Structure 1
Amino acid sequence: MRNSGKAAIISILTPLFAFSSSGLAQDRARATDENSARPAVGRSSDWRTPLIGRLANGVRFAILPRKGNDPGVGLLMRNEGGFIAEHRAGERGLAHLIEHIAFHSPTTAAPDDLDHLKRIGLPLTFPAANAGSTSWRETNYYLSTKTTASSDLDALLTLLKDAASGMNLRTDAVDTSRGEVVREMADKKLGNQIYASYIGQVAPGSPNDVIDAQNSDDVPIASITTIRGLYRRLYRPANMMIVIVGNVKVDEVRSLIERRFGDWKPIGPPSRKTPFPVFQPNRIHPISFSALPEGRRTAFMTVVMPTPRPPSSRAIQARAEIMDLLVTRAINDRLAALQPSSSPGKVGIFIENGEQGHRQIMLWDNFVEDRWKPAVAGLRNSACDLATKGFTTKEWAAAKQNLVVDLEHQVAEMPMAANVEIAKDLSHALADGRHLIPPDELLRYARTMLPQIDGRSGGEWWRQQWSSGTGHLRVEAPELARIENTLSAIRSAANGPSTIPTCKYL
């Protein structure tokens, strides 16, 4: 049951699905009465309607009953306020450090028990590569239990409550955690450097551009007093969410949550809410490059736009997700057909809907050494072709058919989905004011919607999306260091001979 901070390393092959999260969205849940709960609408053969509510002290909870194949339940504790809340001097990176300390620190209930959470929790849970993560906006703790026994779940909820409100931050526990975080930052330094360079160009001013907590100099030297101050500001009932997914009795689990978290009272007055930084389109230049010796070889053509507000209805959200999936399928098929001898994943499209605080559409090409010019020209031609011609009837029909097949496959795989992964998806959806739409429900929407969407409407949708943001062309390759005027060379490649003579990128 190890814990690990979330590294900000871009994954251009991240699968797109109905659970993308929105980093800018505020908590738009309807105000509820004391100790209230409400059902969330949803129809699925794999899980029943989740119960969503809020305790009198502000702790949010969600219980999603499902059978699935897991023998136990997925348990997640989410605390709002990650790196973005580190606004005092000397606090940079300490939200991540606190996440690690939670697995080592004794608590007020067990003041001499080092590694208290792990000692009690390990026998009750399955091992996992990560049991914690910290991002710019929240810290998560997630566990997979071995059984659905109420006593096991109660024991783990007790441990999480102790971590959230009762850590004594003993010096040896803090020092052990410092070492873990320092090593983790060192291991991920290159990836973080690559990502920071990228995001600083395509989305300047966004959270992962202005926050550098993953490379913190404060972690090794912060005093216990400073750490405790941030801990008490961040870990408060109003910032906390408990999510439980599995074959459980809803009323019984709700009672456990109330028993363990209902009497929690915050220490001190609430802290001010830190406004989320947003990307600044006026700072996005047309072209950028990176020539790090250890860097990757890839070309990106992106447009970045503000994160859309959460949809007003479940149906509207489903239609938006289906269009993203459908266009992604159509473009991926086209790009693969243009390079039939390339390995899977060399070229593709990625749509990110807010995880980093903005919506981004990206075309990429992972080229081999000294082949950056053809990669740039190929992306330019593909973008121009899509903008001017849209989709052919044949490729649009194939994309619709293949999307249905993809969704059918996901429906068949639903019982195998891990409870803890669904808990993560549900927590993101709740934090963003969105619905959690399971694959079988999304498939039903798709079967109704797809016959009504032809290639022309798909092309119009794409042109509107592509023109809604600020464009940027980025090339990353070590060999760019040999070029005297790199930006001019990239511009020439982008504006060279084209399959569409009237199309110029710059």
Structure 2
Amino acid sequence: MRNEGGFIEEQRPGERGLTHLIEHLVFVSPTLNAPNDLHYLPKIGLPLTFPAPSAGTTSWRETNYFVSTKTTRTADLDTLLRLFREVATDLTFRSDAVDDQRADVMREMAGRKPGNVIYADYIADVAPGSPTDVIDGQNSDDVPTASVETIRALYRRLYRPENMMVVIVGNVDPTTAKALIAQRFGSWKSIGSPVVHVPVPRLRYDRIAPISFSALPQGRRTALITVAMPTLSSRGSKRSQMDAELMDRLAIRAVNNRLARAQPGSPSGKVGMFIENGEQGHRLIMLWDNFTGDAWQPALVDLKRTTCGLGTAGLSADEWDRARRDLIQELEQITGDMGHAKNVELAKDLSHAIAADRKLIAPSALLRRARIWLPTIDASTGNAWWRQQWQSGHEHVRVEAPELARVVDPRQAIRTALDAASSRASCH
């Protein structure tokens, strides 16, 4: 069950962190049906479900609740849907349950803070103005003091039928599943005025910093070259969506192969490239080198030479050929493993696809398309795609290393290393 309302909706005074708190309270708050039972939902639901590392998540835009059933019996599915309906409409937020979960949320946020600070610092430079920059999703300042009335008011504002999605994935009859959902949720009516959702912030390309750094003592050691650009449209035909995904995967495979060959013997994940199609309206192409010690300069130089070479000479025909073979093999492996995929993960993927107005493509369909379409992507086509992608965005260079604290002007030192690499690679 997906609720369209995350940190972005915490707009009123005293609401910071409360969407996350509500997610926690779902599992301990009594309901109207069981007003004296603090553990009503797990007591009824756990015997019917498999254990999971997490049964709820909250992001900047949504909260998800997910369970994986032990059976496909109609009665069991109906029981879980009844619990979902009570989660959506009948929580009482009894004060002792609220007080218990305040402390739990604050402990969780305190444990995540160091990593969140590092990530927020990076996003502020590479994706300024985006939701993950503008929305302080980890700010739980109001959790310790928010009144039950404030928490309940946010719950009533966000947990409404127009904000909810229920997804069932598994060996069930679709007609029966749809009837069960209608039976449990069909009578649910909106109360009060329609909710006007907060507009999603957009990336400010004019504010992307060309160079940034982090010298936090507890920080990681990494060099990154990133290009930010508008997100490719998710609308359109299933075939066009598949072709876009295949091209991304092919480029990732080709560039990762080149990076790995340049550093033979390096551990897996030390260097790499990744493409992130964010829900925030921007797309990132990232190359990184997780160096050791104080080796940020050679790491950065190698990355810059790589991006220069990709933009000028491009990848060879042999490199594209190998990437095609590797990608086909990867898709064959994924397709073969689909029988072991968890239905709860597929349900989450399906809900995200529906919310983004795009298709959820099965690996087998992607493999069939890859076998037909990938042979049409020769070196000329692939290199032209790469140049178009890289040139359509704004480049950002970042170095994170505690050792930069000893450098008088880290940005200038980074710029000097970049200029030397660009000059030797005839790249400007």
State the TM-score, normalizing by the size of structure 2. 0.98
What is the identity percentage for the equivalent residue pairs of Structure 1 and Structure 2?
Answer: 59
Q: Is the 8 A contact 1:381 1:499 kept in 2?
A: no
Is 2:347 the partner of 1:434?
Answer: no
Q: CA deviation at 1:311?
A: 2.9
Corresponding residue number in structure 2 for 1:359: 283
- Supply the distance in 1 between the matched residues of 2:400 and 2:249 (Cα, whole angstroms): 27
Is 2:172 the partner of 1:248?
Answer: yes
Corresponding residue number in structure 2 for 1:268: 192
Q: CA deviation at 1:348?
A: 0.5
Cα offsets for 1:296-355 (capped at 9, x unmatched): 001110011122222310000000000000000000000000001210110000101114
Corresponding residue number in structure 1 for 2:156: 232
Is 2:59 the partner of 1:135?
Answer: yes
- Structure 2, unaligned stretches of length 5 or more? none
User: For residue 425 of structure 1, what is the amino acid of its counterpart?
Assistant: D
| Total equivalences in the alignment | 428
User: For residue 215 of structure 2, what is the amino acid of its counterpart?
Assistant: A
- Supply the distance in 1 between the matched residues of 2:117 and 2:422 (Cα, whole angstroms): 34
Cα offsets for 1:98-136 (capped at 9, x unmatched): 111111111111111112111111111111111000000
- Supply the distance in 2 between the matched residues of 1:408 and 1:159 (Cα, whole angstroms): 39
Corresponding residue number in structure 1 for 2:7: 83
Query: Which of the residues 123, 128, 133 maps onto 1:204?
Result: 128
Corresponding residue number in structure 1 for 2:417: 493
Query: Which of the residues 164, 169, 185 maps onto 2:93?
Result: 169
Corresponding residue number in structure 1 for 2:44: 120
Is 2:379 the partner of 1:452?
Answer: no
Secondary structure, counterpart of 1:190 in structure 2: helix
Write the mapping of 1:98-113 to structure 2, written as runs, cut at 5 A.
98-113=22-37
Q: Is the 8 A contact 2:271 2:288 kept in 1?
A: yes
Cα offsets for 1:39-94 (capped at 9, x unmatched): xxxxxxxxxxxxxxxxxxxxxxxxxxxxxxxxxxxxxx000010111111111111
Cα offsets for 1:436-456 (capped at 9, x unmatched): 001000001101101111011
Corresponding residue number in structure 1 for 2:230: 306
Q: CA deviation at 1:213?
A: 2.8
Write the mapping of 1:350-499 to structure 2, written as runs, cut at 5 A.
350-497=274-421
User: For residue 355 of structure 2, what is the amino acid of its counterpart?
Assistant: A
Secondary structure, counterpart of 2:168 in structure 1: strand
User: For residue 36 of structure 2, what is the amino acid of its counterpart?
Assistant: D
Q: Is the 8 A contact 1:385 1:500 kept in 2?
A: no
- Supply the distance in 2 between the matched residues of 1:470 and 1:261 (Cα, whole angstroms): 46
Query: Which of the residues 312, 316, 323 maps onto 2:247?
Result: 323
Q: CA deviation at 1:139?
A: 0.3
Q: CA deviation at 1:356?
A: 4.6
- Supply the distance in 1 between the matched residues of 2:140 and 2:128 (Cα, whole angstroms): 20
- Supply the distance in 1 between the matched residues of 2:209 and 2:370 (Cα, whole angstroms): 38
Secondary structure, counterpart of 2:67 in structure 1: strand
Q: CA deviation at 1:265?
A: 1.3
Q: Which runs of 4+ in 1 moved over 6 A?
A: none
Write the mapping of 1:153-164 to structure 2, written as runs, cut at 5 A.
153-164=77-88
Corresponding residue number in structure 2 for 1:94: 18
- Supply the distance in 1 between the matched residues of 2:283 and 2:394 (Cα, whole angstroms): 11
Secondary structure, counterpart of 1:436 in structure 2: coil
Higher helix share: 2
Query: Which of the residues 204, 219, 227 maps onto 1:295?
Result: 219
- Supply the distance in 2 between the matched residues of 1:501 and 1:451 (Cα, whole angstroms): 31
Q: CA deviation at 1:386?
A: 0.3
Q: Aligned-residue CA RMSD in angstroms?
A: 1.1
Q: CA deviation at 1:458?
A: 0.3
Q: CA deviation at 1:497?
A: 4.3
Query: Which of the residues 106, 127, 139 maps onto 1:215?
Result: 139
- Supply the distance in 1 between the matched residues of 2:231 and 2:13 (Cα, whole angstroms): 30
- Supply the distance in 2 between the matched residues of 1:424 and 1:455 (Cα, whole angstroms): 36
Q: Is the 8 A contact 2:2 2:164 kept in 1?
A: yes
